[in-house]
Amino acid sequence: MKLELGRIFIRDVAFGAETRVENGVLTVNQEELRKLILADERLVAVEFHIAKPGESVRIIPVKDVIEPRVKVEGPGGMFPGMIAKVDTVGSGRTHVLKGCAIVTTGKIVAFQEGIIDMTGPGAELTPFSQLLNIVVHATPREGLTQHEHEAALRFMGLKVAAHVGQAGKSVQPDEVITYETLPLLQQVAKYPNLPKVVYAYMLQSQGLMHDTYVYGVDVKKIIPTFIYPTEVFDGAITSGNCVSACDKNTTYHHQNSPVIEDLFERHGKDINFLGAIVTNENVYLADKERSSNMTAKLVEFLGADGAIVSEEGFGNPDTDLIMNCKKIEAKGIKTVLVTDEYAGRDGASQSLADADKAANAVVTAGNANETIVLPPMAKVIGYPEQANVIAGGWAGSLRPDGSIVAEIQVITGATNELGFNKLSARGI
């Protein structure tokens, strides 16, 4: 598959009479969005905000972050199986409104959603502080079940991102980047002397709203399967999980997967990137055995010399990570893991819940238990009291002056296991 991503650099965002992009400025009509959102009877009120880099703004709790994109040429539409009809994406041309995002917040159903600060020490730990954010704050109807509540907010974000993305459909991009993965035998033949690398893409799927979707299918209901990397860039994977904010993959993370970006960058130079295998992170041992068996089998079947395996979340999924590693390595295929750590606030505890000598090449995205003080902000969008119950916070995390003391676990994307962050580790 060959996909062209036309990047339209957004330099400013404002509300106005018409949703459009002109001279790098994205203007958004609030009433269009309000009508779109409140057509869902599960939502009774919505308000909109703009949060810009450097502003004294805190967004809490963050449900999802999504990049506005639009399909210009080729089959399918944005978020197939969710918003667009089910069709295979990943080819043709897609336009991207680069530098901005849709951020969803409001009365969130779970306690693990995160914080985005647009300035201060917290802003240094999240990539989303560098974006022009259109923040959608929604109020759900009373009496919804937890799953109805979560679904309403999830679809709201996707619908808004798809609608705003339409503004870039007829705009000439500032740059066009082309990505291509050939059918397997052609891909192997193109670079016969380069080591063949496969990406095993672990997706959160532990249930109880710890869910991720591929073409609209809850990943815990699938067995591992091959996917063209360009499908990921084209919206085939969407987030629906409510895990700890620091290492949750938002939809934006999937749309801009740095693991896939980096593998494409090395492709044809020192590796032959064959494609990706999406796999899940289930709760029960039998499901873990099944998925790790299938993942290792697919890596071997594709003829890979090496595999990159990235985790999402921590604790229970650490077992899936190590099982994938052991079984792939047992087939004589070199494996590199990407994870983060929960090593205690002093960094002295065992950082993963599982381990094995086969896991001898590991990239870390940092220790999520490290503590931080987030200063008060002039404006808070959402509910600051959530800091007292959010994963990584505790009773009293929100101080009387509006500052927050907590683990960096509360910050959206702080230790993201796709490497979409600034933290790692060094030897001392």
Q: What is the pLDDT of residues 277-297, one digit of tens each?
A: 999 999 999 999 999 999 999
What is the reported pLDDT for 111? Answer: 64
Neighbours of 191 (CB within 10 A): 16
What integer is the mean pLDDT of 207-225?
Answer: 92
Q: Has 242 been annotated as catalytic?
A: yes
pLDDT at 210: 86
Residue with tokens 């449900």: 63
The whole-number pLDDT of residue 113 equals 85
What pLDDT shows up at residue 262?
Answer: 97
pLDDT for residue 320 is more than 80: yes
Place of tokens 């990397």: 229
In tens, the pLDDT along 78-90 reads: 999 999 999 999 9
Average pLDDT over residues 105-129: 91
Residue 423: band (very low, low, confident or very high) from pLDDT cuts 50, 70, 90: confident
pLDDT at residue 306, rounded to an integer:
98
> What's residue 352's pLDDT?
86
Buried b (16+ CB within 10 A) or exposed e, 409-421: bbbbbbbbbbbbb
pLDDT at 110 over 80: no
Q: Convert the pLDDT of each residue in 121-166 to its tens digit.
A: 999 999 999 999 999 999 999 999 988 999 999 999 999 999 999 9
Whether residue 44 contacts residue 140, with contact meaning beta carbons closer than 8 Å, is answered with: yes
Question: Sign of the C-alpha dihedral, residues 172, 173, 178, 183?
Answer: negative
List pLDDT tens digits, range 167-209. Answer: 999 999 999 999 999 999 999 999 999 999 999 999 999 877 7
Q: How far apart are CA 209 and CA 358, in angstroms?
A: 32
Pull the structure tokens for residue 413: 């994307």
Q: Is the predicted pLDDT of residue 103 greater than 70, yes or no?
A: yes
* pLDDT (mean) for 318-342: 96
**What percentage of the chain exceeds 70 in pLDDT?**
99
Compute φ and ψ for 207, nearest 5 degrees.
80, -175
What average pLDDT does range 385-404 have in this prediction?
Answer: 95
Does residue 351 register a pLDDT over 90? no
Closest CA to 280 of 269, 271, 291: 291
What pLDDT was estimated at residue 122? Answer: 97
**What rounded mean pLDDT belongs to the chain?**
95
Question: What is the percent of the chain where pLDDT is above 90?
Answer: 89
388-392 contact pairs (CB < 8 A, 24+): 389/111, 390/60, 390/61, 390/111, 390/112, 390/113, 390/114, 390/115, 390/245, 391/111, 391/112, 391/243, 391/244, 391/245, 392/244, 392/245, 392/246, 392/368
Using pLDDT thresholds of 50, 70 and 90, give the confidence band for residue 391.
very high
Distances (CA, A) of 38 to 82, 151, 339, 426: 18, 14, 39, 49
Mean pLDDT over 401-406 rounds to: 98
The whole-number pLDDT of residue 427 equals 63
Q: What would the mean pLDDT of 327-335 be, rounded to a whole number?
A: 98
- For the chain, the structural domain boundaries read 2-410
What pLDDT score does 249 carry?
Answer: 95
What CA–CA distance (Å, rounded) separates 27 from 17?
A: 8
Considering the candidates 100, 242, 246, 325, report the single residue annotated as catalytic: 242
Q: What is the pLDDT of residues 7-65, one digit of tens each?
A: 999 999 999 999 999 999 999 999 999 999 999 999 999 999 999 999 999 999 999 99
